[in-house]
């Protein structure tokens, strides 16, 4: 199984949130998870960065767990980060961000990270 560096925009420290479940599941599958949240400093011992601009190195996947308007405010940072792909989880879809990704040649998919991992399609 190939492991990836996965940035998780909209990370949560609340166990009932899908973003938290994704962080845990991705980690259990051996992926390096890089949580991003403006107010948290760590989640279960995993360091959290406050913004995408704080990330360095190659990001294989950026998975979104934020409202469209929050993702749209980060368009420039997302394009600059140049992830290998962006996953729009349910409720995060943004035509503006999708268009910017297409123009930058960054692939994206509308899907659920949790389902993708569990189904072996991540």
DSSP 53: G
- pLDDT per position as a tens digit, 50-67: 999 999 999 999 999 999
What does the domain layout of the chain look like in residue ranges? 5-118
pLDDT value for 1: 63
- Helix residue spans in 1-122 (DSSP H): 18-28, 68-73, 75-81, 95-104, 113-118
- pLDDT per position as a tens digit, 7-23: 999 999 999 999 999 99
What percent of the chain has a predicted confidence (pLDDT) above 90? Answer: 98
- pLDDT per position as a tens digit, 76-118: 999 999 999 999 999 999 999 999 999 999 999 999 999 999 9
State the number of CA atoms in the 13 A half-sphere of 75 facing the CB: 16
CATH homologous superfamily, domain 5-118: NAD(P)-binding Rossmann-like Domain (3.40.50.720)
């Amino acid at each position: 199984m190939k492991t990836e560096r996965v940035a998780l925009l909209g990370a949560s420290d609340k166990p009932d949130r899908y973003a938290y479940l994704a962080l845990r599941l991705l980690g259990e599958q051996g992926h390096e998870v890089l949580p991003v949240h403006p107010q948290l400093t760590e989640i279960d011992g995993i360091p959290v960065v406050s913004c995408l601009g704080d990330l360095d190195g190659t990001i294989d996947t950026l998975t979104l767990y934020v409202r469209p308007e929050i993702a749209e405010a980060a368009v420039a940072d997302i394009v600059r980060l140049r992830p290998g792909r962006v996953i729009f989880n349910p409720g995060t879809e943004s035509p503006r961000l999708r268009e910017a990704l297409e123009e930058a040649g960054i692939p994206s998919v509308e899907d659920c990270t949790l389902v993708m991992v569990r189904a072996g399609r991540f």
